[in-house]
Amino acid sequence: MSLRFDGTVARGGFRVEAECEVARGEVLALVGPNGAGKSTVLHAMAGLLGLDRGSIRLGATVLDDPATRTFVPPEQRGTGFVPQAALLFPGMSVRDNVAYGPRARGVTVREARQRALLWLEAVGLAGFGDRRPRELSGGEAQRVALARALATGPAMLLLDEPLSAVDASARLQLRQLLQRVLEDFDGPAVVVTHDAVDAFVLADRIAVLEQGRMVQVGSAGDIGSRPRTRYVADLVGLNFLRGTVHDSLMAVEGGGQLVVASSVEGPALATVHPRALSLFRERPSGSPRNVWQTVVQGVEPALAGRRVQLGGPVPLVAEVTQAAVDELGLRAGATVWVALKATEVGVLPA
């Protein structure tokens, strides 16, 4: 079943108007600057805030519709909710924190605890059941919160900045865990984040909120190629490539290769800033480890300069000035040489 949100939420003098639909098995990332209304939309989906206008539907079920005075309370929505802070019950063990949701839905104590132990193992915390929340790191606490949300067998999954409360060392591992969990989740899922990498790695589509309005919705490629606002351009200013790294050589999906300055081995995600790409008429000399010839697919206006779509097995977007466009004769069909330093390629395990 899909999740559809089409409504207005008011909090004090701030109003959020949004419309989006999340299909079964799909992950939508809600991104935007601080105060844009991301968490407000998520909390309305969860039933923690009521709509002022419009409706929220999960499949054929109306969860909120002020016009018909319909409002399904949070505990009856079948929602798995992971807040920004884990908000674990301090007086309960980790096992009982995870078992709380199933117990609240009528599951026996024994079954709820068995289910909790299975989910703790699934999130990498086998053996943590008897610990107290105060004994956990930030990353461990978020894993418990995720297990607690999933233990109820939710129809939809809502995550509010799930990576913001963890340090850099735990962030990568938790992101990988979330990626696996979301890939296996059968219902609609919504993730609030302000981080482009988190959005691009975790989500199938991205919805951008600014000042309480949804300004753009689409895949990373869609909004990256045609950003509608400066915030969107800054957010998705990175090129993203998937592939496999072995001995500092990344085999890119599609057949190309890039030399990278990274110790990552195996499936990986690479990021390249458009301004890191240098374009030339002739093959350049110098130190860049990656040099190749390709054909320009198109040149589009950008909020600053021009965005040049590059074809070939390593499809990237370069950002250059109008002067460079004129000097190099950049247009669809033109042949150019591309240079990229290995150190300019950011690599993350996929």
Residue 239, pLDDT score: 82
Residue 282, pLDDT score: 93
The Cα–Cα gap between 111 and 102 comes to 9
Phi, psi torsion values for 39, nearest 5 degrees: -65, -30
CATH dotted code for 239-349 = 2.40.50.100
Residue 139, pLDDT score: 86
The two domains 3-235 and 239-349 share their CATH topology (first three levels equal):
no
Residue 168, pLDDT score: 67
Contact 5, 18 (CB under 8 A): yes
Longest dimension (CA), the chain: 73
Fold of 3-235: Rossmann fold (3.40.50)
Residue 225, pLDDT score: 63
Residue 112, pLDDT score: 93
Residue 108, pLDDT score: 93
Following DSSP, what letter does each residue of 160-216 receive, concatenated?
ESTTTTS-HHHHHHHHHHHHHHHHH--S-EEEE-S-HHHHHHH-SEEEEEETTEEEE
Structure tokens at 310: 């590059």
Residue 104, pLDDT score: 87
Sequence-separated (6 or more) residues with CB below 8 Å from residue 279 = 308, 318, 320, 324, 328, 330, 336, 337, 338, 339
Phi, psi torsion values for 340, nearest 5 degrees: -145, 125
Q: Is 152 helix (H, G, I), strand (E, B) or coil?
A: coil
The Cα–Cα gap between 137 and 139 comes to 5
Place of tokens 């809502």: 158
Contact 272, 347 (CB under 8 A): no
The Cα–Cα gap between 181 and 109 comes to 25
Residue 151, pLDDT score: 92
Contact 132, 94 (CB under 8 A): yes
Q: How confident is the prediction along the chain (350 residues), in pLDDT tens digits per residue?
A: 899 999 999 988 899 999 999 999 999 999 998 889 999 999 999 999 999 999 999 999 999 999 999 999 999 998 999 988 888 999 999 999 999 989 988 889 999 999 999 999 988 899 999 999 999 988 889 889 999 999 999 999 999 998 887 776 677 778 888 888 999 999 999 999 988 878 888 999 999 999 999 999 998 877 866 667 768 867 777 787 889 999 999 999 888 999 999 888 999 888 888 889 999 999 998 778 899 999 999 898 776 688 898 998 898 989 999 999 999 999 999 999 999 999 999 887 87
Angstrom distances, CA of residue 85 to CA of 65, 198, 244, 347 = 29, 17, 34, 28
> Which sequence spans correspond to the domains of the chain?
3-235, 239-349
